[in-house]
């Protein structure tokens, strides 16, 4: 299991690095290990760099992707991200990684990564995955692409498009994802639309979804779980 985990992780990082330039800009030095933004500093598109003389090997190390995420939640899934916020050495390198654990029939709900393409590899279990295209022609619906994935299968979700993963098996599932940004971001559709703070005006959502305002108010009253 440990060897398989290592091989999958290396493969995902290699695949993601091949399209890393599609999002984040190329670095202008060997590395730029991130530090917390200095107080009162100007905003930068990324993280400030640690003094190279103070950089250590630990700045490029993350431990723990061999540990399952806790899937005991309403979605039955857990995403364990490895990005610039918990691996400082990723700063400016245009790449990140995530482990996704699924309980039987667990769901990673429809979401987008506004700054990254995602390549997903299945390690265990059976996943039904898909994404929806943008900008359909007049009179047409947004086209859906789906596949059922098995161990060893790889699927790509283009940058910014709504996508999902659903465990259709009776056993747990594990997948690893490489993303073409050090900080890909995630917008979970239901959470953003019905769980925003402050709430979106119900009149807007009633018209958008063509449902009674009681339905919108009910959805806005629910707790929208974040599995990230």
pLDDT digits (tens, 9 = 90+) for 40-84: 666 667 788 889 999 999 999 999 999 999 999 999 999 999 999
Does residue 89 carry a pLDDT above 50?
A: yes
Model pLDDT, residue 13: 60
Per-domain boundaries in the chain: 2-185
Q: Which residues of 127-149 are buried (b: 16+ CB within 10 A; e: fewer)?
A: bebbbbeeeeeeeeeeeeeeeeb
Structure tokens at 158: 């283009």
Q: Regarding beta strands 144-149 and 77-82, do their DSSP bridges make them parallel or antiparallel, or are they unpaired?
A: unpaired
Model pLDDT, residue 35: 85
pLDDT band at residue 12, thresholds of 50, 70 and 90? low
Does residue 4 carry a pLDDT above 90?
A: no
pLDDT band at residue 28, thresholds of 50, 70 and 90? low
pLDDT band at residue 109, thresholds of 50, 70 and 90? very high
Model pLDDT, residue 105: 98
CATH of domain 2-185: 2.60.120.10
**Average model confidence (pLDDT) across the chain:** 90
Model pLDDT, residue 25: 73
Structure tokens at 100: 């996704």
Model pLDDT, residue 20: 47
List 35's β-bridge partners, or say none: 48
Q: Between 58 and 39, whose confidence is greater?
A: 58
Model pLDDT, residue 3: 60
Please write the tens of the pLDDT for every residue from 122-162: 999 999 999 999 988 899 999 999 999 999 999 999 999 99
pTM value is 0.85
Structure tokens at 167: 């465990």
């Amino acid at each position: 299991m440990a060897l398989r985990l290592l091989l999958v992780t290396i493969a995902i990082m290699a695949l993601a690095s091949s399209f890393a330039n599609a999002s984040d800009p190329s670095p202008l030095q060997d590395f730029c290990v991130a530090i917390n933004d200095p107080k009162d500093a100007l905003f930068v598109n990324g993280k400030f760099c640690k003094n190279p003389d103070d950089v250590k090997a630990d700045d490029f190390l993350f431990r723990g992707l061999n540990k399952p995420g806790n899937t005991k939640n309403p979605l039955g899934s857990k995403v364990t991200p490895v990005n610039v916020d918990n691996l400082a050495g990723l700063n400016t390198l245009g790449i990140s990684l995530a482990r996704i654990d699924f309980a039987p029939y667990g769901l990673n709900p429809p979401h987008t990564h506004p700054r990254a393409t995602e390549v997903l590899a299945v390690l265990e279990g059976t996943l039904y995955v898909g994404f929806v295209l943008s900008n359909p022609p007049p009179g047409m619906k947004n086209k859906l692409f789906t596949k059922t994935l098995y161990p060893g299968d790889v699927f790509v979700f283009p940058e910014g498009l709504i996508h999902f993963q659903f465990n259709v098996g009776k056993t747990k599932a594990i997948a690893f994802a490489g993303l073409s940004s050090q900080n890909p971001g995630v917008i979970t559709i239901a959470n953003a639309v019905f769980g925003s703070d402050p709430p979106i005006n119900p009149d807007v959502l009633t018209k958008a979804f063509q449902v009674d305002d009681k339905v919108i108010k009910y959805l806005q009253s629910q707790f929208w779980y974040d599995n990230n």
